[in-house]
Amino acid sequence: MTPNTLVQPVILCGGSGTRLWPLSRAGFPKQFLCLSEKESLFQLAVQRLINLADAAADVLPLCVVSNEEHRFLAQEQAREIGVEKASFLLEPAGRNTAPALTLAALAAIEAGSDPVLVVTPADQTMHNDEAFADALRAAIWEAAEGSIVILGIVPSRPETGYGYVRVADSVGKAALDVLGFVEKPDCATAQRYLNEGGYYWNAGMFVLKASVWLEALKVYCPDILQSTSAAWTGRQQDGVFVRPDPEAFISVPSESIDYAVMEKCPGSSFSIKMVPLDAGWSDLGAWDAVWETLPKDEAGNAHQGDVLTTRSFNTLVHASSRLVAVVGVDNLVVIETPDAVLVADKSCSQDVKHIVNTLGQRSREEQILHRKVHRPWGWYDSIDEGGRFKVKRIMVKPGASLSLQMHHHRAEHWVVVQGTAEITNGEKVSLLTENQSTYIPVGAIHRLRNPGTIPLEIIEVQSGGYLGEDDIVRLEDTYGRAE
């Protein structure tokens, strides 16, 4: 690798994490959760990549490929850890990882350079960041010379939930030649892989030049390259947000990086290698995997939040909003949130997805949103509701404002409990402070803004015949959501 190799960190941030319900939901998926650290999985992924710069590599600003719905979550979480310079490529619809990587590659070559793309998912964890960085630097070295490089996880058990990468024996080499890929095996086959050696878990982390990916895609999946390029050509940019043309992107075939390119490369003209990674990796794919990564007491219990146990063993208990007590249980997962509780045998963790599917079939809001919903201006928490009323606690960040809006079916009463509120109510604009209140009639055009330097909190009481979130007509919006 020559000095000053350009490195483009790319985080694929489109997963939904249905097996980690009820903490992970469609509107707030697992990559944005803080499961075992103070930072979210997404924030940890960002920190691992931006710290790659050294004497041999210049790291470009972060590129995040996400969907439209999660753009503000990703931007805010990046800002919280001091990452202000990042671009966000927003998919109007999920099309799997191959089109996502193609967008990142097209963006990377836009300025005329051909950086090495370091591509990782947003929802994995590592216990040894130094080992991860060392493996990535070895991979960058190989990729700078034109190879496609995969990071392969050194297997610790006969795992049936992952695909495997098979490599050639190459004593003393940092990068091993890839011989092929194998699907998720049964238990006996996984044990044989472990006994024989030469098989590694495929963790979905790739390092390669932007031009190499585009060339391989041209050979193996030209339809993806052509349709994604058309969507990229029709893109629109709004500050750090880049939106491919939605109509063109909808026509892009949905395909993974592995199926589209990687599995076709062994034995071809494309050099494909693997760098082993032994860094305490986990994809946190289900609650049993989360239990594996957490510290435990002498009885094997991993607890988060306000939890009490007695005569219980090997449990995972997560309490979000209240005391949770378990007595005389073994191998259970108990996940408590303000609006849902999951109780499952830890060995059945993968089956949580069936609950999520049922929620979707019944159009239950618990599949999509938490009771506390994050917005670009702050958050709201629906603390109570009944016939013809709903009560919310609302927080607005300093300097932020909600959209200028109106409702056809509901009136609203606002009481300020902290901070200063600037309220537009029809033609009138007024300031309210703690313990003051106002009334917004049905049909009135209104806006709530925080002109102060501390968070604004209000209690909102809605009343009316229909109180759904879709009864919002936005007339103006700082965040591009006006209808």
Integer Cα distance of 13 and 75 in angstroms: 12
Read off the pLDDT of residues 392-427 as tens digits, 9 standing for 90 and up.
999 999 999 999 999 999 999 999 999 999 999 999
Read off the pLDDT of residues 84-119 as tens digits, 9 standing for 90 and up.
999 999 999 999 999 999 999 999 999 889 999 999
Please say if the pLDDT value at position 229 is more than 80.
yes
| 165: its two tokens | 């990468």
Average pLDDT of span 187-214: 95
Q: Mean of the per-residue pLDDT values for the chain?
A: 94
Place of tokens 């990782």: 120
Read off the pLDDT of residues 24-35 as tens digits, 9 standing for 90 and up.
999 999 999 998
Contact of 465 with 388, CB cutoff 8 Å: yes
Q: How far out from the chain centre does Cα 101 lie?
A: 15
- For residue 3, what pLDDT is reported? 58
CATH H-level, domain 372-476: superfamily: Jelly Rolls (2.60.120.10)
Please say if the pLDDT value at position 483 is more than 60.
no
Radius of gyration of the chain (CA): 25
342 forms beta bridges with: 335
Q: Show me where the domains of the chain are located.
A: 5-277, 296-358, 372-476
Please say if the pLDDT value at position 389 is more than 70.
yes
Integer Cα distance of 205 and 270 in angstroms: 18
User: Could you write out the DSSP letters of every residue in 409-467?
Assistant: SEEEEEEEEES-EEEEETTEEEEE-TT-EEEE-TT--EEEE--SSS-EEEEEEEEES--
| 376: its two tokens | 């670009």
Query: Which position has the higher pLDDT, 53 or 433?
Result: 433
CA-nearest of 119, 344, 91 to 228 is 91
CA-nearest of 279, 187, 160, 205 to 12 is 205
Please say if the pLDDT value at position 38 is more than 90.
no
- For residue 1, what pLDDT is reported? 46
CB-based burial label for 58 (10 Å; 0-12, 13-18, 19+): middle
Fold of 5-277: Spore Coat Polysaccharide Biosynthesis Protein SpsA; Chain A (3.90.550)
Please say if the pLDDT value at position 361 is more than 60.
yes
As a whole-number percent, the residues of the chain with pLDDT over 70 amount to 98
- For residue 171, what pLDDT is reported? 66
Average pLDDT of span 54-59: 76
Average pLDDT of span 342-371: 95
377 forms beta bridges with: none
* Lowest-confidence segment of 32-41, 117-126, 296-305 by average pLDDT: 32-41
Confidence category of residue 170, pLDDT binned at 50, 70, 90: low
Residue 355 is given by DSSP the state H
CA-nearest of 376, 357, 162, 378 to 258 is 162
Confidence category of residue 14, pLDDT binned at 50, 70, 90: confident
Read off the pLDDT of residues 424-454 as tens digits, 9 standing for 90 and up.
999 999 999 999 999 999 999 999 999 999 9
3-class SS string, 193-228: HHHHCCEEEEEEEEEEEHHHHHHHHHHHCHHHHHHH
- For residue 482, what pLDDT is reported? 58
Q: Is 369 left (phi over 0), alpha (psi -120 to 50) or beta?
A: beta
Read off the pLDDT of residues 257-294 as tens digits, 9 standing for 90 and up.
999 999 999 999 999 999 999 999 999 989 999 999 99
Please say if the pLDDT value at position 2 is more than 80.
no
- For residue 112, what pLDDT is reported? 86
> What pTM was computed for the model?
0.91
Average pLDDT of span 216-234: 97
